[in-house]
Amino acid sequence: MIYLDNAATTAPDAGAVAAAMKYLQAEFYNPSALYRAGFSAHRAVEEARKNISALIAPQGGYELIFTASGSEADNQALFSSVRRGNFVTTEGEHAAVYNTAKELAKRGIEVRFAKLLADGRVDVADLLAKVDEKTSLVSVIHVNNETGAVNDVAEISARVKKASKAIFHSDGVQAFGKLPFTLGGGVDLYTISAHKIGGVRGVAALLRRKGCRLDPLVFGGGQENGLRSGTENTFAIKQFEFAAKKKFDRLHGDLEHVRALNRMAREALDERLFEIISSEEASPYILSVAAKGLRGEVLLHMLDDAGVMVGTGSACSSKNKYSRVIAACGWNERYAEGVLRLSFFASNTPEETERAVAVINECARKLAERMN
């Protein structure tokens, strides 16, 4: 099988798993326990917190709170920041932000959705037009998880800060460890996740600029400085640390490798059958295409049977007829129903990419012939 759905999840890095295994077996102790072994586990968690934070915020000024998922981190950012006034976000957000915004609207908060450009980036002019003195939070995804479109959250946050006193949050799950970026003062809250970069599922984090208000979403024993209760998963946290360090050590090399794979796929896809949605400036880790007049879900199952695994957009919206994000980009139903998302990782090779695209072309031709 050829796996090209890495935006949904990646295979855990074996070396990072092996390095963290002692925290699952020999050193399994509760980090909150008062005896020596428990304190040792606590120190291991604090070391991971420091090291992961340094990768994305090397100048300091941020606190990292471990969560169980990126969705939880996004929820905490939004529910603790939106108390009154209005909330401004984009039509291109991950479901963890978009559906939380819908819930906030049910609770009486005015939610304003900024429009998207054709490639999935936010229309910055439209976003800023929706920000006013009553805006409590602005949330803009860093890398769109369906098209790979990159929003310049450093510039956008700076412009938002000039227009209002709003808190600025960004879901950086598809950017962390993949694109060169460090946090600055304009971004107050930033979400990252382990399983998109070779970490295991079940651990993520929210970075908070020091001084920015943040309230707990999960209550209990007061772990994570009272901001996220629940016994810390030391194994998953340490494996996240080791996988993240490895990914950042080779970030630029991986980026060039994946960019070559993306270019190869773009050039090899049959243009009579496919329209490329992702722009040349998008993250090379994600390549979304539309099979003209074909059902993406049907094509996905044909590819699965032929040994190629791809997505049809966000794994979190796989039950929908077609993606709301693709529709917000202006693509009509004929194209939106035929979307496939190829997402790469450093472990993918040119040979399997070439083979995968050949299979994609072949399956699309067969499906097109069947429908004529």
Q: What single string gives the DSSP state of each residue in 94-141?
A: -HHHHHHHHHHHHTT-EEEEEPB-TTS-B-HHHHHHH--TTEEEEE--
User: Which H, E and C letters describe 234-264, residue by residue?
Assistant: HHHHHHHHHHHHHHHHCHHHHHHHHHHHHHH
Distance CA 126, CA 305 (A): 43
Task: Point out the catalytic residue in the list 212, 316, 329, 363.
Answer: 316
Q: What is the pLDDT of residue 335?
A: 81
Bridge partners (DSSP) of residue 274 are: 291
Residues in CB range of 78: below 8 A, 6 or more apart: 87, 97, 100, 101, 104, 137, 139, 169
Q: Are strands 274-276 and 286-291 parallel, antiparallel or unpaired?
A: antiparallel
Q: Catalytic residue at 316?
A: yes
DSSP character string of 309-321: E-BSS-GGGTTSS
Contact 101, 244 (CB under 8 A): no
Phi/psi region, residue 367 (left: phi>0; alpha: psi -120 to 50; beta: rest), is: alpha
Helices (H), the chain: 14-20, 36-56, 70-81, 95-106, 124-130, 153-163, 234-249, 251-268, 296-305, 324-328, 333-336, 350-371
pLDDT for 323 equals: 86
Task: Confirm whether 14-249 and 250-371 share one CATH topology.
Answer: no
**Confidence (pLDDT) at 281:** 97
Sheet with 286-291, edge to edge strand ranges: 274-276, 286-291, 339-343
- Residues 359/308, Cβ–Cβ less than 8 Å: yes
Q: How confident is the model at residue 315, as a pLDDT?
A: 46
* CATH number of this structure's domain 14-249: 3.40.640.10
- Name the one residue in this structure whose structure tokens are 């994600």: 286
Is 191 in contact with 77 (CB distance < 8 Å)? yes
C-alpha span between 170 and 155 (Å, rounded):
12
Asked: is 250-371 a CATH 3.90.1150.10 domain? The reply is: yes
Count of beta carbons in the 10 Å neighbourhood of residue 226: 12
The Cα 165–Cα 188 span in angstroms is 11
Average pLDDT, the chain: 95
pTM check: above 0.75: yes
Phi, psi angles (nearest 5°) of residue 287: -135, 110
Neighbouring residues of 81: CB distance < 8 A, sequence distance ≥ 6 = 136, 137, 167, 169, 189, 213, 214
Token match 């949330």: residue? 139
DSSP state letter for 84: S
Return d(Cα 260, Cα 33) in angstroms, integer. Answer: 49
| pLDDT at residue 320, as a whole number | 57
What are the domain boundaries of the chain?
Answer: 14-249, 250-371
| pLDDT at residue 321, rounded to an integer | 66
Report, as ranges of residue numbers, the positions in the chain whose pLDDT lies below 70. 313-321
